């Protein structure tokens, strides 16, 4: 029996909400009396724009937040990964579109569910565990595991020679659709308002449509 690989290439905003905006950054705001959120996000964008940067450094929120705080001559009261672990519980994290139910619906012996995330292991796993969905995945691809970002074909190296169908699920047109197509993957774009220029194999407006979209792609490629 051929095992299809379903790669969830974008977690936050697709299947879950993490605690960064709801709790981690507000924790620092309360401590400093000043909101550094936009500066944190800007620092990450600067790192993402550097084509040959270390992928772990690019996504290292501990280092990002320390770097920004020190520009103000401040020290973080607690590291980011500690706060992520602390706040990986409701109401600071949540699933989107009943993702926990949908994931259980698509689990089958012929399918391998894989987290393929830009986030580092120490930030993603507490959230997945806190939502009770970590055990639904068979494998985890993250920059500190693969040594690459999801925009790099080396990120998917362990699946490159697997001839079975590979379906990427995400919401971003460039990172989750166009790039995966270049790597020979099929794509399902989750977007409430499908863009006119989308080239995804399937477009869905909510995760409720995901089981049918996966089944249709499998049927077309058997």
- pLDDT tens profile 26-50: 999 999 999 999 999 999 999 999 9
Averaged pLDDT, 76-84: 98
pLDDT at 121: 96
Shared domain check, 50 and 12: no
Instruction: Say if residue 222's pLDDT is above 80.
Output: no
- pLDDT, residue 2, reads 60
For the chain, what percent of residues have pLDDT higher than 90? 85
The last residue of a domain, from among 72, 87, 102:
87
Same domain, 179 and 206: yes
Q: Do residues 111 and 124 both lie within one domain?
A: yes
Domain span at 13: 4-18+94-220
* Percentage of residues of the chain with pLDDT beyond 70: 99
In this predicted structure, the answer to whether residue 145 has a pLDDT above a threshold of 80 is: yes
- Regarding whether 53 and 135 lie in a shared domain, the answer is no
Residues 80 and 127 in one domain: no
One domain for residues 163 and 212: yes
- What pLDDT score was predicted for residue 13? 85
Q: Is 179 in the same domain as 144?
A: yes
Do 45 and 121 lie in one domain? The reply is: no
Q: 100-139 pLDDT, tens per residue?
A: 999 999 999 999 999 999 999 999 999 999 999 999 999 9
Can you give the pLDDT at residue 43? 98
Regarding predicted confidence, which is higher, 209 or 51? 209
Do 104 and 187 lie in one domain? The reply is yes
pLDDT digits (tens, 9 = 90+) for 7-17: 998 889 889 99
As for how many domains the chain has, the answer is: 2
CATH of the domain at 133: 3.40.50.1000
123 and 181 within one domain: yes
What pLDDT band is residue 1 in, cutting at 50, 70 and 90? Answer: very low
Q: How much is the pTM?
A: 0.92
Express each pLDDT in 171-203 by its tens digit.
988 899 999 999 999 999 998 887 777 799 999
Is 81 in the same domain as 116?
no
Mean pLDDT of all residues in the chain? 94
d(C-alpha 104, C-alpha 107), whole Å: 5
- Mean pLDDT value across residues 204-217: 95
Q: Are residues 81 and 119 in the same domain?
A: no
């Amino acid at each position: 029996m051929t095992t299809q690989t379903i790669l969830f290439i974008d977690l936050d905003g697709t299947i879950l909400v993490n605690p960064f905006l709801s709790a981690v950054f507000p924790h620092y705001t309360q401590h400093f009396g000043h909101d550094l959120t936009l500066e944190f996000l800007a620092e990450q964008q600067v790192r993402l724009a550097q084509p040959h940067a270390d992928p772990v450094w690019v996504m290292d929120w501990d280092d990002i937040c320390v770097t920004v705080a020190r520009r103000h001559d401040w020290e973080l009261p607690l590291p980011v990964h500690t706060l992520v672990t602390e706040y990986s519980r409701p109401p600071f994290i949540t699933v989107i579109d009943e993702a926990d139910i949908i994931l259980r619906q698509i689990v089958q012996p012929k399918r391998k569910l894989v987290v393929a995330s830009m986030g580092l292991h120490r930030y993603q796993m507490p959230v997945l565990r806190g939502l009770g969905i970590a055990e639904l995945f068979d494998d985890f691809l993250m920059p500190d595991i693969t040594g690459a970002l999801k925009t790099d074909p080396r990120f998917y190296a362990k699946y490159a020679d697997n001839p079975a169908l590979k379906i990427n699920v995400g919401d971003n047109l460039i990172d989750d659709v166009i790039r995966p197509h270049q790597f020979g993957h099929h794509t399902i774009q989750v977007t409430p308002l499908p863009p006119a220029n989308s080239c995804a194999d399937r477009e869905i407006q909510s995760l409720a449509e995901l089981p049918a979209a996966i089944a249709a792609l499998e049927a077309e490629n058997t």
